[in-house]
Structure 1
């Protein structure tokens, strides 16, 4: 069954998308998707062809996504904020025939010789697509036909394309509708990235399967989220732990009068946050477990028997075991081991990587690389990782990818990249670097070389220059030891060696033009821009500043200002002028999301 066929059965007058004040009915969305379908057909795209979606959150992504799938083509979802080299690799690896993009992204993709259609008009520049809107139809395909490829970074340092079938997507959508109780009367808030498996399969598709309305936002913005909760009739909210930390202390039950359901995934939710939220808001934060390789839904913490600190039991149709990672034997309840699972949610495999697929899926069982334990009632807790995956604000960073970027610097002899716990982002990316004899390099240089080839959230926020890296007898670097040694420094930002220009300004008590110069310089360094090109009233997001970089800038400002800074002030202010105005306001009492100045 083509998963897009569900769309044909929904009443056309039912609201489907609410985006920036405009409402699109199911009939409207079908019409837009049909327009994309017709244009793709005119370009010769058909069953089994790969089409890149390099699009931000918005109705254009939904229309493009549905249009591609309706043809039996495969949607290759690419984060539009990736560096050009990262995007180029994915396009080459997947062999996309063309790309759907918009604005500046469409322009620079075209320069690389790829055929690009601007999905806002479903056409290439100069053509007139509205003359032939097309009709909504769906190509029948088997359940195991590939529907979508979502890329995650690989342990080798190269991204891997996770291939999900129409059957995978439909199974997860139906399961989500059942377990979360989604109905046609619900309004699901969706600010998580649609290019990610979480946004697609855990929020968008369940809403479409239930005939519900998606309240769609471009990104997480605390003020916009609170406004939507108050005025748009939102009933279900989905986020990552960072979402709830950002909302804590700023939200009351009265802010979401119709909200009946909160859900967190993508990273462990601290138990204390879960308990504080329940006490304050009167509703629990539901959790589940999954990863892109299982579509991403495998367990659910049920409302009828919710266990705090757990991610629930295996959903119907999915088998789950805890095994000894050394010999694969099953472990009894209470013992920690690798989480392995099987079911209709398990991916088809990694695109063009049969060896990686064979390692991950053995005799039908997906080996997740996560460490967990089951209690006597079958409730799962996730405790660690076999791999060195780092999760920053809910986004995956594989150390090898960052290490490869750092090895491009001629002064670097050895490097180890690892995650350090952070109360706001979940983890930060840190790097320990051994320089070649007689060579010299500083944190600013290394940060700059990473920014040229990596997305901003993957760039290390702290560097340690060391004489050697700890290893076991076989020579493997012991990253657990690095993480443990880094914890004291993580608690005291003054001990970190960072890139940028913050170090020379500590304790300067910035004000007036000095503050603006500091912010412009920092943004220029981290976004690869000339500082004087940053417009005072242009949104930071348009320059590529995301929430992770926003937190980093807030932290850097604490020392030169000599006072606590709210970690969300940058994305709340949203522009240079707004940020400067906020920073010059009288200091209020520091809240839960403030970082103190280093002492």
Structure 2
């Protein structure tokens, strides 16, 4: 097997069909496959061989897709790196995975150190001029456009995706060809993807969501991908109408943004299917979307370590607020601190077993052993399962707030605050406190034109929630720190906050 068999199948079945559209360029399956082959042969000519690591330090441009598939065709391992990382972070990843080559851009190469990278042999520039190394275009101009993906063992590493890491440096989740192929077929079935679908891809390709759940899944059914560099509201809305997008994938903050914007001048009628993942979808947001547009936002759940998909809500029955049931061939259960499965409705840690679970963290056997026990991946997510086998995320274990011995789950508080008509976005997190251990902090973005006091927000909450769950501190902000997929970075908020109470009499 080889992940890149899907681009070859697209070439064989639909050679003249448009596979990829980016800005003013389009690529048929035949053209795309030939470019992929040229990259594969060019890298082989440089001495890159099966098992070697090649870093993609690239934004959302066609060269990411072409290079990604070319690397896989020769059995090398793709290491996709967040384009927001700086020199010391990039250096750490290079040395951790011992990369032999990097494909990047003229601007991003400035964050690639010139020293202390003993394994790095080749720098290829995919966009801009090559002040360092050589251009990707020059590499492939004389390379043959003919190649076949080599057969790989299902357990052979295909991709290393570095997790964001809440403490210390990130860990490289190593995904096999079998992991990703299994996952993209499940995504195809769950989402009902077809060759005539047109998928908008603005989520970062260096992230597992964009890379596997959208890119690889779309290519696997010979669909058409409309690629954008990033999420830009006007560009995304125009692309939906211009390209008649049929499937729209986003994170919760994207749907919140859309709900808080005036879309009366845009036509979304071509979109038959909406999907969210990467962070919990607030129930109020999902319900408001369904009421306004008459379509559910289907929800997936998973992690980088599970390739990423693990569960789906749902092809048989949709349950508001649920992450659905496990995808085919995957098992999920909820366990207590002793590893015992809990009863229906009880809270515990969600664990996952199946062909989607990563091989492990690259060069981190101890960390791997901490999270994969007897084949079960321990997610660190607190959740429950109902009598129908549908799972629900309560919160991240590390995000749980312990206030004077009471457990407070930020997502529960956020879901309540989202019900207030003046709230656009909210992030709830714990702040260290010398007396209570931790207190509940809420950072709130108000909708345009709305003015409300902290006391009114607290009054709204106190009528609907136990006193110990109430925010002790409320701050109105203009923005929230987010990662490239739009997930709120609560570790950053915790680092920025102090234990000073803004509403001390209410705690």
What's the TM-score once normalised by structure 1's chain length?
0.67
- In structure 1, what is the equivalent of residue 134 of structure 2? 125
- In structure 2, what is the equivalent of residue 46 of structure 1? 49
Cα distance in 2 between the residues matched to 1:314 and 1:545: 26
CA contact (8 A) 1:298 1:315 kept: yes
CA contact (8 A) 2:237 2:266 kept: no
Matched, 1:367 2:351: no
Cα distance in 2 between the residues matched to 1:150 and 1:340: 20
Once the two structures are superposed, the pairs formed by residues 119-198 of structure 1 within 5 Å of their partners are 119-120=126-127, 124-125=133-134, 127=138, 129-198=140-209
CA contact (8 A) 1:30 1:136 kept: no
Matched, 1:61 2:64: yes
The secondary structure found in structure 1 opposite 2:383 is strand
The secondary structure found in structure 1 opposite 2:50 is coil
The secondary structure found in structure 2 opposite 1:298 is strand
Q: Deviations over 1:320-371 (max 9, x none)?
A: 11111x2111111111111011000000001111111111000001111101
- In structure 2, what is the equivalent of residue 116 of structure 1? 123
Q: Deviations over 1:50-98 (max 9, x none)?
A: 1100000110100010011111110011011112211111111111011
- In structure 2, what is the equivalent of residue 100 of structure 1? 103
CA contact (8 A) 1:187 1:214 kept: yes
Matched, 1:241 2:244: no
Cα distance in 1 between the residues matched to 2:152 and 2:485: 39
Cα distance in 1 between the residues matched to 2:230 and 2:379: 28
- In structure 2, what is the equivalent of residue 450 of structure 1? none
Structure with greater helix percent = 1
Q: Deviations over 1:464-502 (max 9, x none)?
A: xxxx6467xxxxxx45656789935334459x9x9xxxx
Matched, 1:341 2:352: yes
- In structure 2, what is the equivalent of residue 4 of structure 1? 4
Paired residue for 1:487, among 471, 482, 504?
Answer: 471
CA shift for structure 1 position 129: 3.6
Paired residue for 1:273, among 273, 277, 285?
Answer: 285
Paired residue for 2:212, among 201, 207, 214?
Answer: 201
- In structure 2, what is the equivalent of residue 285 of structure 1? 297
CA contact (8 A) 2:19 2:32 kept: yes
Q: Deviations over 1:232-264 (max 9, x none)?
A: 110000001100011114335962121000011
Cα distance in 1 between the residues matched to 2:229 and 2:145: 27
Matched, 1:357 2:368: yes
CA contact (8 A) 1:16 1:25 kept: yes
Q: Flag the 1:181–1:36 CA change in 2: closer, same or farther, 3 A.
A: same
Cα distance in 1 between the residues matched to 2:191 and 2:240: 19
Q: Flag the 1:493–1:99 CA change in 2: closer, same or farther, 3 A.
A: closer
After TM superposition, the structure 1 stretch with the greater mean CA deviation from structure 2, 18-27 or 104-113, is: 104-113
- In structure 1, what is the equivalent of residue 450 of structure 2? none
Once the two structures are superposed, the pairs formed by residues 10-49 of structure 1 within 5 Å of their partners are 10=10, 11-49=14-52
CA shift for structure 1 position 168: 0.5
Paired residue for 2:87, among 80, 84, 87?
Answer: 84
CA shift for structure 1 position 153: 3.2
CA contact (8 A) 1:109 1:116 kept: no
After TM superposition, the structure 1 stretch with the greater mean CA deviation from structure 2, 76-85 or 182-191, is: 76-85
CA contact (8 A) 1:288 1:298 kept: yes
Cα distance in 2 between the residues matched to 1:229 and 1:330: 45
Cα distance in 2 between the residues matched to 1:56 and 1:199: 12
CA contact (8 A) 2:90 2:112 kept: no
The secondary structure found in structure 1 opposite 2:150 is coil
- In structure 2, what is the equivalent of residue 583 of structure 1? none
CA contact (8 A) 1:52 1:76 kept: yes
The secondary structure found in structure 1 opposite 2:328 is coil
CA shift for structure 1 position 154: 3.4
CA shift for structure 1 position 119: 2.9
Q: Flag the 1:252–1:375 CA change in 2: closer, same or farther, 3 A.
A: farther
- In structure 2, what is the equivalent of residue 214 of structure 1? 225
Cα distance in 2 between the residues matched to 1:250 and 1:352: 49
- In structure 2, what is the equivalent of residue 514 of structure 1? none
CA contact (8 A) 2:441 2:474 kept: no
Q: Deviations over 1:15-60 (max 9, x none)?
A: 1111113211111111221221122111110100011000001101
Q: CA RMSD in A?
A: 3.2
Cα distance in 2 between the residues matched to 1:7 and 1:549: 30
Tell me, which stretches of 5 or more residues in structure 1 are unaligned? 391-417, 433-467, 472-477, 499-525, 527-543, 552-599
Q: How many residue pairs were aligned? A: 436
What's the TM-score once normalised by structure 2's chain length?
0.79
- In structure 2, what is the equivalent of residue 502 of structure 1? none
Cα distance in 2 between the residues matched to 1:366 and 1:379: 19
